């Protein structure tokens, strides 16, 4: 069954799956119909009203586990700036397909769906491939966590994540630990602050400690050092009262081998009893040895089809992906992040994906699937 990846990209962009609230179900059902018509076994896994993930499989013969392709269909909001194009129309202008979610990452999903549908007959009597198409990735891999908890994924021998990399093979990314730090005080009239306990002052002291925080771990040779950023600070309801609550939003990016629980314990010890910590997002770092045979094969395939070399140094991504959940769920299967979108265009006004890169990604994914089942 031949699928035009450009037409499918436009169809997916037409679904408003801005998260929150997400409402990915109609988009997921659309993909399910396409994959089922191509002969894949499909299952939709709802986890909230109008929200669901999709798992699809073909093949499964023999002892070799399938190759898994994954991508999400939720998008971020449009932002405050006006768009010059309809963000849900999928207009093509000067070789660029515009719309919210084009680069991040509906065009990647369209490319691997088109690739596998186009070779379904070739895959049917092999070890095969599977797809995990998720909802809720943008706010902490919510859909992927639901799939892992539901124990419906089964096995996979390797994972291809179609996030935006301009079709360059990427072997890892940092993890993310987002925390809410809460300081409590006692309110009082602003003219009598001695009768209260000012939570904003506690927050100020905590921020100073956070600025000086050291992870005390060696940098990763390719992902570098972990980082901590204070992203939000909120305290008080009105200027003439002593604030009795302050909240600080902390964005930590971790490296392989650095346990998030260890970070939280270290923070709690340094910040003391004046604060409590609540976890907002907790997704681990991803890293696959670039010298592993399958990773080398992927890089060689990309170079053969696009002329683009992975370069002397392994490529890494600044963002997190569903691989944070799916890679460990598949027993730490080798993982590549490889998609047609441009990372710099993700979440931007007038987001787009180059049409020629969508076609190239479709060709790359088909080649990876063919080589996987041939071995």
pLDDT confidence tier of residue 312, bands split at 50, 70 and 90: confident
Domain boundary among 257, 283, 309: 283
Q: What's 18's DSSP letter?
A: B
Same domain for 249 and 278: yes
Quote the domain boundaries for residue 241: 175-283
How far apart, in whole angstroms, are the C-alpha atoms of residue 27 and residue 303?
Answer: 33
Strand partners for 197 = 186
Same domain for 43 and 67: yes
pLDDT tens-digit map of 172-230:
999 999 999 999 999 999 999 999 999 999 999 999 999 999 999 999 999 999 999 99
Distance of CA 197 to the CA centre of its chain: 41
Give percent of the chain above pLDDT 70.
100
Q: Which of 76-85, 311-320, 346-355 has the lowest mean pLDDT?
A: 311-320
Token match 């990604």: residue? 361
Distance of CA 331 to the CA centre of its chain: 19
Residue 235 pLDDT exceeds 90: yes
Same domain for 66 and 193: no
Same domain for 251 and 317: no
Residue 150 pLDDT exceeds 90: yes
How far apart, in whole angstroms, are the C-alpha atoms of residue 157 and residue 178?
Answer: 30
Same domain for 162 and 150: yes
The tokens describing 115, both together, are: 């690739």
Q: Is 344 exposed, middle or buried (0-12, 13-18, 19+ CB in 10 A)?
A: exposed
Q: For position 310, what pLDDT does the model report?
A: 72
Mean residue pLDDT of the chain comes to 97
């Amino acid at each position: 069954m031949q699928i035009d990846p450009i037409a499918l990209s436009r169809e997916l962009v037409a679904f408003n799956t801005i998260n929150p609230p997400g409402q990915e179900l109609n988009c997921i059902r659309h993909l399910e119909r396409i994959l089922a018509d191509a002969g894949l076994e499909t299952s939709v896994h709802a986890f909230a009203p109008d929200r669901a993930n999709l798992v699809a499989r073909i093949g499964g013969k023999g002892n070799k586990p399938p190759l898994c392709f994954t991508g999400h269909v939720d998008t971020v909001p449009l932002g405050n700036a006006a768009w010059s194009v309809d963000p849900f129309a999928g207009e093509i202008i000067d070789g660029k397909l515009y719309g919210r979610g084009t680069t991040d990452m509906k065009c990647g999903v369209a490319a691997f769906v088109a690739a596998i549908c186009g070779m379904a007959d070739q895959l049917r009597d092999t070890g095969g491939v599977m797809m995990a198409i998720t909802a809720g990735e943008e706010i902490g891999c919510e859909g992927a966590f639901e799939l892992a908890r539901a124990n419906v994924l089964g096995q996979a021998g390797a994972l291809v994540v179609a996030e935006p990399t301009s079709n360059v093979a990427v072997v890892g990314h940092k993890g993310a630990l987002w925390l809410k730090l809460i300081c409590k005080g006692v309110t009082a009239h602003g003219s009598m602050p001695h009768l209260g306990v000012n939570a904003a002052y506690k927050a100020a002291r905590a921020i100073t400690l956070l600025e000086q925080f050291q992870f005390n771990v060696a940098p990763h040779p390719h992902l570098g050092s972990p980082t901590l950023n204070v992203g939000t600070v909120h305290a008080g309801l009105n200027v003439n009262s002593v604030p009795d609550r302050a909240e600080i939003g902390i964005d930590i990016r971790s490296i392989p081998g650095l346990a998030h629980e260890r970070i939280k314990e270290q923070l709690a010890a340094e910040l003391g009893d004046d604060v409590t910590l609540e976890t907002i997002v907790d997704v681990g770092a991803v890293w696959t040895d670039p010298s592993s045979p399958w990773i080398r094969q992927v890089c060689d395939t990309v170079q053969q089809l696009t002329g683009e070399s992975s370069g002397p140094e392994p490529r890494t991504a600044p963002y997190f992906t569903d691989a944070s959940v799916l890679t460990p769920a598949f027993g730490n299967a080798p993982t590549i992040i490889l998609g047609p979108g441009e990372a710099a265009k993700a979440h931007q006004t007038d987001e787009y994906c180059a049409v020629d890169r969508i076609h190239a990604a479709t060709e790359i994914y088909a080649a990876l699937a063919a080589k996987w089942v041939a071995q």
